[in-house]
Amino acid sequence: MASNALSPIGERAPTADEAYRIVRDKGTIRLSGDLRMHDASAIWREVRKETERAEGSVVFDLSGVHASDGGVMALLIELRAELGARGVKAELVGAGQRVEAIVKLYSGHDGVTKRNKRRPEGAVAQIGRSAFEVKEEAKAIFDFLGSMVLAAITLVRHPRAGHWKEVAPLCEKAGANAVPIVLLINFLVGFVMAFQSARQLKMFGANIYVADLVGISLTRELAPLMTAIIVCGRSGAGFAAELGSMKVNEEIDALRTLGLTPFGWLVVPRVLALVVVVPLLTLIADFIGIGGGVLVGVLDLGLTPRGYYIETLTAVHGWDVLTGLLKSVVFAFAIALIACQQGFSASGGAEGVGKRTTSTVVTSLFAIVIIDALSTVLFRAFNL
């Protein structure tokens, strides 16, 4: 059994019945003998007691230690870290060759790490990091697109492998339940556009041309764009959250275990649902948006509903409506693809699902704007 003499006077080596000895001499704590694991608890208590009121610096002198177990050395390193956190510099010195190997093994000579002050990221670094993240995100989306195309080809060959019963409920969630908000937003868009242009049109006596302005703007551009934004924030985020929760709960892995393909079971039905319902919502948005223009034309510009209707038919052609519907199909595909990809990439529990849901909305909006700009330029280049 080990015994301890904690007096700095009369230092001596441990006797035969002592396994170790601890002696404090001002700022130096001398350890001698064998520091074995069965004495670790006692050593820990005594050394901590000797360093409770330590200030400035403390030196652990290991010159008298013949052998040490790794567990005891780990405790000494931990104590050194505690002292460092209190602002007390602690060092392990004087170890013999055998003990020195244990000290190095446990990084006993490494200084107490100080938390480096975080330097603010520069503007150029932020731009570079954001560009790299966009590149990686785009690569992941295109990889996901390739996997989905392969899954779609497999479903064409083996239709029973798909979860087709899920398409109708998804259409209801993404389409029918979104009708009220689509009606309200697009009605207000048509109303505000007509109201803002009313004064300028009155100045030139061109009141009737409000029908041209509202009709063409809504059918070709605003109705599909506003509808896609609504679907992105509503259905896209919902898809990402739903699939993300399934991913972190390992439900997607369970589908694979059952021999079901996650793409055919989860992704393709959602893509089909949005591709079907978004053009229909866009068509409804065209009519209700024109209705908002009619209200302004009748109440503020002195037009009749019939006159407004005839002018709209004269200005708006079938290709204008079809252009908006084609855009809405591409928007729907992009939203569904991005939402599913983000959901499948979720990890880390609820926090990871939340991040992916937010990323879905941001990435989808970015994709919608890019697609809209490219399609507009393309149609203009071919005079469509």
Domains and CATH numbers, the chain: 20-105 (3.30.750.24), 144-381 (no CATH)
Query: In this structure, how many other beta carbons lie within 10 angstroms of the beta carbon of residue 384?
Result: 13
pTM higher than 0.85: no
Q: Please compute the mean of the pLDDT values over residues 203-229 and round it to a whole number.
A: 92
The tokens of 354 are what?
């939340």
Q: Please compute the mean of the pLDDT values over residues 348-362 and round it to a whole number.
A: 89
Query: In this structure, how many other beta carbons lie within 10 angstroms of the beta carbon of residue 335?
Result: 32
Measure CA 357 to chain center. Answer: 7
CA distance 275 to 7: 85
The tokens of 301 are what?
């510009």
Half-sphere CA count of 328, side-chain side, radius 13 A: 32
Q: Which of 69-83, 168-182, 285-299, 303-317 has the lowest mean pLDDT?
A: 69-83
Report the alpha-carbon angle 3-5-9, nearest 5.
155
Going by C-alpha positions, the residue among 242, 59, 78, 72 that lies closest to residue 252 is 242
> For 52-87, how does the pLDDT look when each residue is reduced to its tens digit (9 = 90+)?
777 778 888 888 888 887 778 888 888 788 877 877
| Mean residue pLDDT across the chain | 84
Residue 106: pLDDT band (50, 70, 90) is low
